[in-house]
Chain A
Amino acid sequence: MNFHRFSLYFSAVQLAFSAILLGTLQLNSNIYALYHTLAISLFMLITAVLGIYFSWRGQGSRVVADAWLIISIVTAYIAIDVSPFFNSPVKPLELALTGIVTVIWVVDLYIAWRAKLPVLRL
């Protein structure tokens, strides 16, 4: 398994998801939900670009650091977004996309671990 290639693919997927989330901003019926979606989509956009750059340059430990950061923030987003306060028509889509992002980076960390990269030592 080529860790850098997988990370590149995963970052590209996340980039696409962040673009979709940015596209759904107008569908939010609640101003708080809109800001929350905006924050997570920008975060995902920036970390996806960083992920693509680090994977392209073969900087494994930086990809791992990026993966931890994404998992950490996206799970926080999900924990808050399940609240009824943030109800909006696009919420199921947002939760699905951020859920997939969490899973792919957990898989990425597993691949890094199998590739003997220091996953717990940044």
Chain B
Amino acid sequence: MEGRGRGIFFDDYSLEEVPSTERYGLYNMFLTLSASFGAIAVLFAGGVLGGGLNFVDATIAVLTGGTTVLAIIGALSGAIGAYSGLSTYVGWRFPFGRVGGKVLGFALITITTGIGWFAVESWFFGVVMNEIFPHNPFFSVWAAALWGGILMILSTYIGYRALSFLSYFILPQHVWLIAVGLLLAISLHGGWGAVFTAAPKSHMTLTDAITDTVGLYIAGSLIAPDITRFAKRARDAVTAWVLHMYVFYPFLILGAVAIVLLTGSVIITEDMLKLGMGVGVLLIIILGQWIINTVNLYSGSLSFTNAIPVRRDLSSIIVGVIGTLLAAYWGYTAGASLTPFENFITLLGSLLPAAGGSVFAEFYIVKRYFEGIKDPRQRFKLEPGREYPEVNLVGLLSFAAGALAGFFVPGIAAINAILVAFVVHVALAYVFKRAGIRYEFGRYVYRSGLERVVR
């Protein structure tokens, strides 16, 4: 919370470095990062693996492939956030320039996560509410999507403090409810013995399974700095990231795999409803969607503020209202297909890994070895009064190369995109620097955070 003589507002250091006095420890980081796993949609997404792999293969794919890859990518990305104290998109000003960072942040996060997935999750919230209370107008799809969206906007308005609080109180509760639901569903449908002997209905290769597991959370790994910029130390951010990956991610994904192998669908909420656990199911849905959409909208509001100079708390209202109205519209028109829209935001989201590759190259190689900045705290440092480039050509070219590799090179698309963008960024920066060719264009003077935004 900040107040500079004009009332109370919650900008959350959207365009500047988080000061050391406002940073949090390992436990807070662990819980807040884990909030991303609050959505029941994670179970549905994980259930896809259960359709094509047996339980042992799924465990191998999740533990050796997906979780480990995501733990490494998120740790690299989270450390950048903790060192710099900057949000993901403000950090992008270094590899892409200010204009590049604005455009990419708006296209890849504001539109996809902030508006798109926020709207999809709000609509889904309305659908599930309507299924539980079918004859109550307050719980009709559009009405529930509307009040659910407003609830989520309120917590995002407050920002990181609200997200932390939700994580302290709601996340452990949510995990307990999901765990009981999963264990009950498994017990009622034959138990663990049946899980290990069950055969999947179709076939999926391990590569496809790892691709799915990585793809499910790659965006969360690359925008980890939105949260880890609040970490006291980089090692807290890295430890929290790795811990939360190995504690919650395999548990939820493999739980979903087990249920799908036994029953053909992720039905823990249905089973719980049949057993009379209406309160538990209600809490799972309300709290889960509340947490995940707060995380979605928080990143959306940060990227919006980076692109358009409006205070972050106001950004959360602007972006959230658009998403909520979209969700209510889908609910009102009952039957409107979300598929084209989901395909569109999935396509945009698939470009994100390429941006991650350029960021890693700039922070860990270009700044460290080509520019000789040994102290990681100084590599992405924005100092008021100093000039910075508007456009970084190397970053934009490497992003384009990574994005193309993600689409056309066979294998795990996200990893291909990151690696190609990383290599191209390093190579181009080296060549340009050796040849003495300028690749950063335009200049702007950085005027610390809130001084620039409209209050």
Binding site for B on A (CB under 8 A): 32, 35-36, 65, 68-69, 71-73, 75-77, 79-80, 82-85, 120-122
Contact = CB atoms under 8 A, between A and B. Distances in A.
Given A82-B279, A83-B275, A83-B280, A122 B173 contact: no
Nearest to A67: B168
Contacts of B171: 72
A120 B173 contact: no
Contacts of B168: 65, 68-69, 72, 120, 122
Interface stretch (B20-28, B148-156, B219-227): B20-28
Tell me the dominant secondary structure on chain A's binding face. helix
Interface residues of B, number: 29
Interface in B265-294: 272, 275-280, 283
A121 B25 CA distance: 10
A76 B177 contact: yes
A68 B164 contact: no
Contact of A76 (B164, B165, B183, B283): B283
Contacts of A65: 27, 168
A83 B277 contact: yes
A69 B177 CA distance: 14
B276 A85 contact: yes
A71 B279 contact: no
Given A83-B272, A120-B161, 10 more contacts: A36-B180, A65-B27, A68-B168, A76-B180, A79-B177, A79-B277, A80-B279, A83-B277, A84-B275, A121-B161
B170 interface: yes
B173 A32 contact: no
Nearest to A75: B173
B309 interface: no
Interface of B: 24-25, 27-28, 31, 161, 164-165, 168-174, 176-177, 180, 183-184, 187, 272, 275-280, 283
B177 A32 contact: no
A84 B169 CA distance: 26
17 contacts: A32-B184, A36-B180, A65-B168, A68-B168, A69-B168, A76-B172, A76-B176, A76-B177, A79-B279, A83-B272, A83-B276, A83-B280, A85-B276, A85-B277, A120-B164, A122-B25, A122-B28
A84 B276 contact: yes
Contacts of A68: 168-169
A54 to B, nearest CB: 12
Nearest to A35: B183
Contact of A32 (B164, B170, B172, B187): B187
Contact of A72 (B161, B169, B276): B169
B362 to A, nearest CB: 33
A82 B170 CA distance: 19
- Top 3 A-B pairs, shortest CB-CB distance: A85-B275, A76-B176, A76-B173
Contacts of A122: 24-25, 27-28, 31, 164, 168
Nearest to B181: A80
A47 to B, nearest CB: 11
Contacts of A71: 169
A120 B165 contact: yes
Contacts of A73: 172-173, 176
A32 B275 CA distance: 12
A68 B27 CA distance: 12
Nearest to B184: A32
Contacts of B28: 121-122
A72 B172 contact: yes
Nearest to A70: B172
B300 to A, nearest CB: 24
A82 B279 CA distance: 8
Given A32-B187, A68-B168, A80 B173 contact: no
A77 B176 contact: yes
Contacts of A72: 168-173, 176
Nearest to A85: B275
Contacts of B164: 120-122
Contacts of A120: 161, 164-165, 168
A76 to B, nearest CB: 4
A51 B170 CA distance: 20
